[in-house]
Structure 1
Amino acid sequence: MDSIDLEVLKTCDAWIKAGQPCELVTVIKTWGSSPRPEGATLAIAGNGQVVGSVSGGCIEDDLIERVQREGMQRHLPEIVTYGITADEAHRFGLPCGGTIELAIEPLSARSQLDALLQGLQRHELLARRLDLHTGEVTLASADPGQQLQFTEDALTTVHGPRWRLLIIGAGQLSRFLASIAVGMDYQVTVCDPREEYRSGWQVEGVQLIHAMPDDLVLEMQLDSRSAVVALTHDPKLDDLALMEALKSDAFYVGAIGSRINNAKRRERLKEFDLNDEQLAKLHGPIGLYIGSKTPAEIAISILAELTAVKNRILLPAEVNVAHAKSTLA
């Protein structure tokens, strides 16, 4: 499963190679309420076919209509603004009078999409700089914290896995969790030293490593854009890895298990060299309470909690698994 923006790039590259005229549309700035964030992309072909999204569908309809009516006549990038007037906001469905600014780039072989995709295949984090006056594109390595940059001369977008997820254990739940996380632009690594769990593992875009989890945690040098989820139910594999992860700058560390097992795990971790602040970072029982039963539902629950933490959203106690289940007991 590819992320939406990666699917857009791959589609554009395929259209270029097939000789199909196409344009890449990028959200570069928003004011007020906007359904899509800065950096969101849309691919549009000369026949009006689109992949991706820059709004709830209203602006897409206008872009398609213009292509079908006028064809693709741009030879250089153009900046287009939607929603300046109240009438436009109503017409294009921008809530609360929101305004959205787009960069529309005609694509060709010189757009460097093939080289960009090759770098992304190698899990590189790349900055793509588009000269707005000439249409020339250059690629360079990007920093993890680098964001979209827009000036009157150039648009620089950042592509690649800016977030990392380490999953300990290669069971069925891990497959669902890894598949969804790849679609959310995470660079996913699964670690399991048990051969019986690794055999037959096939999730595209996920690295499977045979190592002791605590060794891999140290090797990965987890930073504030890293998350760790322990899913083995085996203290011999989970505990040491969790200890090292809780000492790191990882923004999320969680482990699966019941309320009783989670309490026992915390007692075991207290015996290691962890302070109260570090131990408080541990999420468990993991996930949000959504009545999940199947591995797919549990994976959604886990990623929902992880996403909330990443986005610094303070969740109400009612969605905490331990709290919710205690009220049902």
Structure 2
Amino acid sequence: MDSIDLEVLKTSAAWIASGRRCELITVIKTWGSSPRPIGATLAICEDGTVIGSVSGGCIEDDLIARVRNEGISRTVPDIVSYGITADEAHRFGLPCGGTIELSIEPLSARSRIAELLERLERHELVQRRVDLHSGEVELSRAAPGAQLQISEQAMVTIHGPRWRLLIIGAGQLSRFLAQIALAMDYSVIVCDPREEYRAGWHVDGVQLVHEMPDDVVIDMKLDRRSAVVALTHDPKLDDLALMEALKSDAFYVGTIGSRLNNSKRRERLLEFDLTPEQLARLHGPIGLYIGSKTPSEIAISILAEMTAIKNGVPTNLIVPHAAAPTKAGDAVCVVDSGAV
């Protein structure tokens, strides 16, 4: 599974290689509410075929109509706006008074899309600078946390794994979790020192390592764009890794298990050199309460909670699995011989 960003780039590269004219459209500014965030992309081919999205659909329809009626004739990037007036806002599906500003860049071999994809295959975080007057492109390594920038001279976009996820335990649940996380722009590492669990476990684009989880956590030097999820149910593997992760800057640290098991885990972790404040950062039972029962549903639940935390959703609006209503004291959802 590719992220939308990768799908757009790969399709663009194929169009360029086949000699077809195409353009890359990027959301660079929004005012008011907007259906798509800054940095969202869409590519359009000379026959009107599109991949990606920059709005709820109406702006795409307008872009397609223009290409089919007028063709693709731009030689340098152009900046266009939609929804400046209330009538346009209504026409293009934007809230009244909302505005979206787009960069429309004609693509060719000099756009360096193929080279960009090669660097992304190496899991690099890449900065792509486009001169808005000449169309010339420069590629360089991006700094963690870098964001899209626009000026009169150039547009700088960021491509690659913007977030990192370490999954401890190679099992069925971790397979679903890794697949969905890849599509959400995470660079995913799965760690499991148990050979019997690693055998046969594979997800394209995911690095599988066999070192002890706590060593991997330390080596990764987790930052505020990192998350750790422990799924083994084995305290010998999970606890030390969780201890190191909770002392790091990781924005999310979660672990699978029932309320009872998580309560026992918290007691064990307090015996290490964790502070109560650090321990309070642990999410467990893991995930949002959505009534999940299957591995795929639980993976969605976990990533939903991670996304809410990453996006700064207020705590009072998040209903974690730990706060879910229960029957007979503690609801248990069995997955990979364990519980959420």
TM-score bin, normalised by smaller chain: over 0.9
- 2:288–2:318 contact (8 Å) kept in structure 1: no
Q: CA deviation at 1:324?
A: 1.5
1:3 counterpart residue number:
3
Paired residue total: 329
Question: What are the within-5 Å matches in structure 2 for residues 1-329 of structure 1?
Answer: 1-316=1-316, 319-326=319-326, 329=329
Query: What is the one-letter code of the residue matched to 1:91?
Result: R
Query: What is the one-letter code of the residue matched to 1:219?
Result: D
Q: CA deviation at 1:327?
A: 7.0
Q: CA deviation at 1:96?
A: 3.0
| Cα-to-partner distance string for 1:133-161 (whole Å, 9 max, x where unaligned) | 00100001111111101001100001111
**Partner Cα distance (1:211, 1:85) in 2:** 58
| Cα-to-partner distance string for 1:190-246 (whole Å, 9 max, x where unaligned) | 000011111111211100001100011111111111100000000010000001101
- 2:191–2:211 contact (8 Å) kept in structure 1: yes
**Partner Cα distance (1:95, 1:155) in 2:** 26
SS of the residue aligned with 1:288?
coil
SS of the residue aligned with 2:325?
helix
Q: CA deviation at 1:25?
A: 0.2
Cα gap change, 1:243/1:112 in structure 2, threshold over 3 Å: closer, same or farther?
Answer: same
2:333 counterpart residue number:
none
**Partner Cα distance (2:317, 2:256) in 1:** 18
**Partner Cα distance (2:271, 2:328) in 1:** 32
**Partner Cα distance (1:192, 1:323) in 2:** 29
Query: What is the one-letter code of the residue matched to 1:263?
Result: S
SS of the residue aligned with 1:97?
coil
Tell me the TM-score normalized by structure 2: 0.95
- 1:176–1:296 contact (8 Å) kept in structure 2: yes
Query: What is the one-letter code of the residue matched to 1:208?
Result: L
Task: Name which of structure 1's ranges 87-96 and 233-242 shifts more when overlaid on structure 2.
Answer: 87-96
**Partner Cα distance (2:226, 2:119) in 1:** 21
- 2:165–2:186 contact (8 Å) kept in structure 1: yes
What stretches of structure 1 of length at least 5 have no aligned partner? none
Q: CA deviation at 1:328?
A: 7.4
What stretches of structure 2 of length at least 5 have no aligned partner? 330-340
- 1:318–1:324 contact (8 Å) kept in structure 2: no
SS of the residue aligned with 2:324?
helix
**Partner Cα distance (2:318, 2:55) in 1:** 32
SS of the residue aligned with 2:164?
strand
SS of the residue aligned with 2:96?
helix
- 2:86–2:96 contact (8 Å) kept in structure 1: no
Query: What is the one-letter code of the residue matched to 1:201?
Result: W
**Partner Cα distance (1:143, 1:8) in 2:** 23
SS of the residue aligned with 1:87?
helix
**Partner Cα distance (1:251, 1:6) in 2:** 25
Q: CA deviation at 1:318?
A: 7.3
**Partner Cα distance (1:327, 1:303) in 2:** 25
SS of the residue aligned with 2:9?
helix
SS of the residue aligned with 2:105?
strand
**Partner Cα distance (2:320, 2:30) in 1:** 33
Let me know the Cα RMSD of the aligned residues.
Answer: 1.1
| Cα-to-partner distance string for 1:248-284 (whole Å, 9 max, x where unaligned) | 1111000000000000000000110000111001000
**Partner Cα distance (2:327, 2:284) in 1:** 17
Query: What is the one-letter code of the residue matched to 2:268?
Result: R
**Partner Cα distance (2:188, 2:130) in 1:** 29
Query: What is the one-letter code of the residue matched to 1:304?
Result: A
- 1:317–1:323 contact (8 Å) kept in structure 2: no
Query: What is the one-letter code of the residue matched to 1:235?
Result: P
Tell me the TM-score normalized by structure 1: 0.98
**Partner Cα distance (1:285, 1:111) in 2:** 47
Query: What is the one-letter code of the residue matched to 2:242?
Result: L
**Partner Cα distance (1:275, 1:286) in 2:** 21
SS of the residue aligned with 2:178?
helix
